[in-house]
Chains A and B, each alone.
Chain A
């Protein structure tokens, strides 16, 4: 098992698609950082003007406007909008396609005769989970750290109209220890990336092209999101139950922990049970 896992992990983290996924994620993050640097420069200029105009009344700071409002999973810049919209593709891009490719090329048959179907599935599942999680979580963490070099770091205050409010997951932590809040959501992004990547295994060998395997989680989440908003229209008030939006740290709707982990569990169940069936119960190609 150890050897299989090691080789799967090596393949997952040493292929062009993994680098491509990282590049796309970093591009989204770069778009967010660029827009933030312009916003911060504007903010600093207006603060300096205020300081020169009336130094006695100047209380200092940016009124709560800081890194914790401009981070990728909170902000509403073009980069963060793109990340919120396309992150399922980032999760599937690194290694989600590998099962289909190995089935098509015959590598699957070779591997399974040596290690067995169950061991193959376990190794593949872990590799897909970790690679998807690394790209999605890594992009969020990278954006947080680079933004910290540019944006002012201030404790969020109610007066600064923060995007996080009562009803959001671990909202208290945002006001007490925002760094921990952001790191917790980076961890959540890692988990979301992982479980979303493994959804590709559920599709098995159904599509002819690997591009549709990569797009499958995105399409599933998109349709899920559309259906969720239709139901929301009928009921008026519902917690956020759409996985596409649950990755956000400050969505427009309240996202209690049970909704986040419930939906994540459901997605993980779908990926693992159907994926297990696809990989172990279906016949050789």
Chain B
């Protein structure tokens, strides 16, 4: 079995799952909290909806005693990707998946195929998020534009220096960075599944999101997706640093996973 055949098998089995559709109501719930902003504000664009989902929260003042209100929509969208991709690798180590692994002839190829599948899966998931945002935008009479409306961001984040961004900048922090962060965390989770229990892998990666919300530092994996903290809005997270961290995490996960999987006992996997 060559690599392409293996990869297409992974795509066929991994992408035809109902759970992508099950996540759509969750995206809708995350979008619904933006409706109160849209109500009294004309000219809201599709990018504003995307910004609402991936804005995260302003950095909390640690030790001030002020309550921290976690962005539930952001955590649901980002954490949902981890949940959707959580069991694909372990599922393919049990039952008929073991037959495929034996026939593919190369453990490295098998794991790299899973890494590529993870990128595609996150892409499909992300497309679902963008689609729901587009539906909400059109249903509320918004414009399908790639630029932002600063007033909409100011309404949600009054302490941030919001400003109009170009389409390229919006695509960078609204689409590219959240997708890369999502894919990197998901890849890290997949690799961690080889080292520990899947629930611990989920807790670690979803915990990274929580830590990145709590501390204001660009090097924490997960902070790349918090677009309200990027330097384009006067925050401390440089998009370049976030891209570097995400790519390093993606690459590191692929290398660590490949090395680990070479010595993995494939008969010990439990359902």
**A interface with B by C-beta (< 8 Å):** 17, 20, 24, 39, 69, 76, 78, 81-82, 85-86, 89, 93, 104, 161, 163, 208-212, 214-215, 219, 222-223, 225-227, 229-230, 233, 252
* Number of B residues with CB within 8 Å of any CB on chain A: 34
Q: Nearest Cβ in chain A — how far from B59, in angstroms?
A: 13
Which residues of B sit under 8 angstroms from A227, Cβ to Cβ? 29
Q: Which of A20, A78, A211, A230 contacts B202 (CB 8 A)?
A: A211
Q: Nearest Cβ in chain B — how far from A131, in angstroms?
A: 15
Pairwise interchain contact B86-A229, C-beta atoms closer than 8 A: no
Residue in B closest to A250 when the chains form the complex, CB atoms: B67
* Contact A209 B29, CB 8 Å, known A161-B65, A215-B83: no
Which residues of A sit under 8 angstroms from B91, Cβ to Cβ? 208-209
CA distance A161 to B65 in the complex (A): 9
Pairwise interchain contact A81-B203, C-beta atoms closer than 8 A: no
B207, CB-defined interface residue at 8 Å: yes
B145, CB-defined interface residue at 8 Å: no
Q: List residues 48-63 of chain B with CB under 8 A from any CB of chain A.
A: 63
Residue in A closest to B72 when the chains form the complex, CB atoms: A226
Pairwise interchain contact A214-B199, C-beta atoms closer than 8 A: yes
* Contact A24 B203, CB 8 Å, known A81-B68, A211-B87: yes
Q: Which of B66, B73, B90, B207 contacts A82 (CB 8 A)?
A: B207
Q: Nearest Cβ in chain B — how far from A81, in angstroms?
A: 6
* Contact A85 B199, CB 8 Å, known A211-B86, A211-B87, A233-B36: no
Residue in A closest to B64 when the chains form the complex, CB atoms: A76
CA distance A81 to B215 in the complex (A): 12
User: Mask for B26-53, Cβ within 8 A of A = 1, else 0?
Assistant: 1001101100100000000000000000
B198, CB-defined interface residue at 8 Å: yes
Pairwise interchain contact B199-A211, C-beta atoms closer than 8 A: yes
* Contact A20 B271, CB 8 Å, known A76-B68, A78-B214, A229-B72: no
CA distance A89 to B207 in the complex (A): 12
Which residues of A sit under 8 angstroms from B72, Cβ to Cβ? 222, 225-226, 229
Q: Which of B36, B73, B207, B271 contacts A104 (CB 8 A)?
A: B271
Residue in B closest to A227 when the chains form the complex, CB atoms: B29
Between-chain CB contacts (< 8 Å), 20 pairs:
A20-B197, A20-B200, A76-B68, A81-B68, A85-B210, A163-B65, A209-B87, A209-B198, A210-B271, A211-B87, A211-B197, A214-B199, A215-B83, A222-B72, A222-B76, A223-B26, A223-B29, A225-B72, A230-B29, A230-B32
Q: Nearest Cβ in chain B — how far from A77, in angstroms?
A: 8
16 more CB-based (< 8 A) A-B contacts, given A85-B210, A89-B199 = A20-B200, A76-B68, A78-B210, A78-B211, A81-B214, A86-B203, A86-B207, A104-B271, A209-B198, A211-B86, A211-B198, A219-B83, A226-B26, A226-B73, A229-B33, A230-B32
Q: Nearest Cβ in chain A — how far from B210, in angstroms?
A: 6
Pairwise interchain contact A89-B214, C-beta atoms closer than 8 A: no
Pairwise interchain contact B210-A81, C-beta atoms closer than 8 A: yes
CA distance A209 to B32 in the complex (A): 32
CA distance A39 to B64 in the complex (A): 11
Q: Nearest Cβ in chain A — how far from B37, in angstroms?
A: 11
Pairwise interchain contact A82-B200, C-beta atoms closer than 8 A: no
Which residues of A sit under 8 angstroms from B68, Cβ to Cβ? 76, 81
Which residues of A sit under 8 angstroms from B66, Cβ to Cβ? 76
Residue in B closest to A219 when the chains form the complex, CB atoms: B83
Residue in A closest to B25 when the chains form the complex, CB atoms: A223
Q: Which of A76, A78, A81, A226 contacts B76 (CB 8 A)?
A: A226
B139, CB-defined interface residue at 8 Å: no
Which residues of B sit under 8 angstroms from A39, Cβ to Cβ? 63
Which residues of B sit under 8 angstroms from A222, Cβ to Cβ? 72, 76
Residue in B closest to A86 when the chains form the complex, CB atoms: B203
Q: Nearest Cβ in chain A — how far from B91, in angstroms?
A: 7
Q: List residues 227-271 of chain B with CB under 8 A from any CB of chain A.
A: 270-271
Which residues of A sit under 8 angstroms from B83, Cβ to Cβ? 215, 219
CA distance A210 to B197 in the complex (A): 10
B135, CB-defined interface residue at 8 Å: no
Which residues of A sit under 8 angstroms from B21, Cβ to Cβ? none
Which residues of A sit under 8 angstroms from B271, Cβ to Cβ? 104, 208-210
Which residues of A sit under 8 angstroms from B30, Cβ to Cβ? 226
B70, CB-defined interface residue at 8 Å: yes
Q: Nearest Cβ in chain A — how far from B15, in angstroms?
A: 18
Q: List residues 87-124 of chain B with CB under 8 A from any CB of chain A.
A: 87, 90-91
